[in-house]
């Protein structure tokens, strides 16, 4: 499997001739995703940091909600969850996606801000999660401490942090997120492995 990170929560996954883009962001956020081709696009949250479908070329199948999907021999399960709500506002929907490439499972937690219940995860009967992409920068998503809790719930073989402070993006709020180092410290890791 070939995985490329475009910043924030946006990844390109390529396996067996299939390209999936997870959470493409709009041009107002940054330009790294611009004009990327995909067969499948997953949208976790309906905000500009996660729903820039106009950045994608080709004629992709767009997945933007809970449920079970099958396309191009990839099985995708979307689990309803929530983005962290502020003050008395109702929480906004987020969708966690699990993409099964013939028994190799990749999870993308999207813009997750509220921890799912263990019973929700158990209902999915996922088996092992091979790779898990987890937001770690806080703000309206999981902060470093809660991100470590999420990792414990899913127990992936490999973990990829996402949605943390970056200085090369246009939107100011991204530079206000926690740096990835805080998450690594919570995990007990002093330096990332290349």
Confidence of residue 170 (pLDDT cuts 50, 70, 90): low
Q: Is residue 192 part of a domain?
A: no
Best CA proximity match to 17, nearest among 68, 74, 65, 58: 74
The predicted-structure confidence for 71-109, as pLDDT tens digits, reads as follows 999 999 999 998 876 666 777 889 999 999 999 999 999
- Residue ranges with strand state E in the chain: 2-7, 10-15, 18-22, 36-37, 40-42, 56-57, 61-63, 67-71, 74-82, 93-101, 104-108, 131-135, 158-162
Q: Is residue 174 part of a domain?
A: yes
Residue 169: what pLDDT?
65
Residue 55: what pLDDT?
84
Q: Is residue 194 part of a domain?
A: no
Confidence of residue 193 (pLDDT cuts 50, 70, 90): low
Q: Is residue 141 part of a domain?
A: yes
Confidence of residue 7 (pLDDT cuts 50, 70, 90): confident
Q: Is residue 143 part of a domain?
A: yes
Q: Is residue 193 part of a domain?
A: no
Cβ atoms of residues 57 and 16 within 8 Å: no
Residue range of the domain that includes 35: 2-187
pTM of the model: 0.91
Q: What is the CATH number of the domain that holds 151?
A: 3.60.15.10
Number of domains the chain is built from: 1
Say yes or no to pLDDT of 158 above 70: yes
Q: Is residue 159 part of a domain?
A: yes
| Distance separating alpha carbons of residues 137 and 120, to the nearest angstrom | 24
């Amino acid at each position: 499997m070939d995985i490329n990170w475009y910043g924030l929560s946006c990844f390109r996954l390529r396996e067996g001739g299939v390209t999936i883009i997870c959470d493409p962001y709009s041009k107002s956020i940054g330009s790294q995703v611009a004009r990327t081709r995909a067969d499948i696009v997953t949208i976790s949250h309906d905000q500009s940091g996660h729903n820039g479908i106009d950045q994608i070329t080709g004629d992709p199948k767009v997945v933007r909600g809970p449920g079970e999907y099958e396309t191009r021999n990839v099985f995708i399960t979307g689990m309803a969850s929530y983005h962290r709500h502020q003050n008395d506002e109702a929480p906004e929907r987020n969708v966690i996606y699990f993409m099964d490439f013939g028994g190799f499972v990749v999870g993308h937690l999207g813009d997750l801000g509220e921890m799912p219940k263990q019973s929700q995860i158990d209902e999915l009967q996922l088996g092992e999660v091979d790779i898990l992409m987890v937001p770690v920068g806080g703000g309206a998503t999981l902060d470093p401490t809660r991100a470590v809790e999420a990792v414990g719930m899913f127990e992936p073989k490999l973990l990829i942090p996402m949605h943390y402070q970056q200085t090369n993006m246009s939107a100011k709020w991204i530079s206000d997120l926690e740096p990835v180092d805080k998450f690594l410290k919570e995990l007990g890791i002093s330096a990332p492995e290349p």
